[in-house]
Amino acid sequence: MSIPATMRAVEITEFGAPEVLKIGTRPVPQPRAGEVLIRVEAAGVNRPDVSQRKGNYPPPPGASDLPGLEVAGEIVSLGEGVTEWKVGDRVCALIAGGGYAEYCAAPAPQCLPIPKGLSAIEAASLPETYFTVYPNVFERGRLAGKDTLLIQGGSSGIGVAAIQMAKAMGHTVFVTAGSEEKCRACVALGADRGINYKTEDFVEVVKQATGGRGVDVILDMVAGDYVDRELKALADDGRLVVIALLGGVKATLGMGDILRRRLSITGSTLRPRPIEFKGRVAASLRERIWPLLESGKIKPVIYKTFPLENAAGAHALMESSEHIGKIVLTI
């Protein structure tokens, strides 16, 4: 198949509401050394895309200004030095931008084979979420043994992946969500207890369910005034891992608990991390998580798909927080 000179892509025409996302024409990117060119069949939609559209999350230096951090499709061209992939391979990939388009260049180490039995739409929902959950929960959070986990926002794309990964590894999982329907959906995915944060206090529920001990690890996308409450929900030697700041960038902490009970607060953001780090995560995912996807023990949860032309509709749904699972664009 010949590669065209130009492609359709979703551009952020100005910073603002979802309607600023418009279809434009761009040159098809040329893969640089160490990159592959993917003919995109599906692209995942994530909250960082929304932040970028609003002007709050600029792409890192050298990255495409187009939104989109994960894609799935077929490799159609190889950059210099790429030996681990060949033209025709079907892959999903984590990228630093450029996913909302018909073609996308991706660093070869950040590509993974589309798991056997999964569609391109399902595969496109994996990279951003799984590359985020795995190192934060299992490496920074050191979830292991019989540790218990609390996930804030269990019905989000991150949440549904974290529930299934942690349950597949044998852990007890609590989640918060904003409705009874979302809590039930999380329990259906394997969570041991869904906590409706609008009607229940997650600190009280977690303490009661653990005999007053608390949980070992919390995966937090909220921050802000949640942080001090989360410290109270942690067991001694517990770890709080912050991956987003939906509740604000500032928090007031009672430092006594941290000292007395040896609590840890850590966090990370994925986009600016170097290719070497992301390649190492890809290798861990391929070894530990991809077999669980191929066996059906972990399943992608797709809430709704939108055609590329309606990226604005996908963003409006994302901001409504009505979804349970992932939103994906199809090309």
- Whether the CB-CB separation of 99 and 277 falls below 8 Å is answered with no
What is the reported pLDDT for 86? 97
The CATH number given to 130-267 is 3.40.50.720
What is the reported pLDDT for 1? 64
Residues 64-108: pLDDT tens digits? Answer: 999 999 999 999 999 999 999 999 999 999 999 999 999 999 999
- From residue 21, alpha-carbon distances to 48, 71, 311, 312 in Å are 15, 18, 7, 6
State in Å, rounded, how far the first CA of the chain is from the last one: 17
Instruction: Write down the pTM of the prediction.
Output: 0.91
Dihedral sign computed on CA atoms, order 123, 105, 131, 57: negative
Q: Which of 74-78, 121-125, 226-230, 326-330 has the lowest mean pLDDT?
A: 226-230
Structure tokens at 192: 């041991």
- Cα 141 off chain centre by: 16
Residue 249 has pLDDT above 90, yes or no: no
What is the reported pLDDT for 248? 86
The candidate with the shortest Cα–Cα distance to 229, out of 209, 200, 194, is 200
Structure tokens at 102: 């018909």
Mean confidence (pLDDT) of the chain: 95
The CATH number given to 6-126+272-330 is 3.90.180.10
- Whether the CB-CB separation of 68 and 53 falls below 8 Å is answered with no
Residue 328 has pLDDT above 80, yes or no: yes
What is the reported pLDDT for 291? 97
What is the reported pLDDT for 101? 98
- Any idea what the Cα angle at residue 93 is, between residues 87 and 97, rounded to 5°? 115
Count CB atoms within 10 A of the CB of residue 294: 14
Cα 241 to Cα 19: distance, rounded to the nearest angstrom: 33
How do the domains of the chain map onto residue ranges?
6-126+272-330, 130-267
- Using DSSP's 3-state secondary structure scheme, residue 26 falls into strand
Q: Which of 56-65, 101-110, 204-213 has the lowest mean pLDDT?
A: 56-65
Cα 105 to Cα 49: distance, rounded to the nearest angstrom: 18
Roughly what angle, to the nearest 10 degrees, separates helices 226-233 and 202-209? 10
Residue 321 has pLDDT above 90, yes or no: no
Residue 237 has pLDDT above 80, yes or no: yes
Mean pLDDT, residues 183-209 taken together:
96
Residues 161-171: pLDDT tens digits? Answer: 999 999 999 99
Whole-number percent of the chain with pLDDT over 70: 100
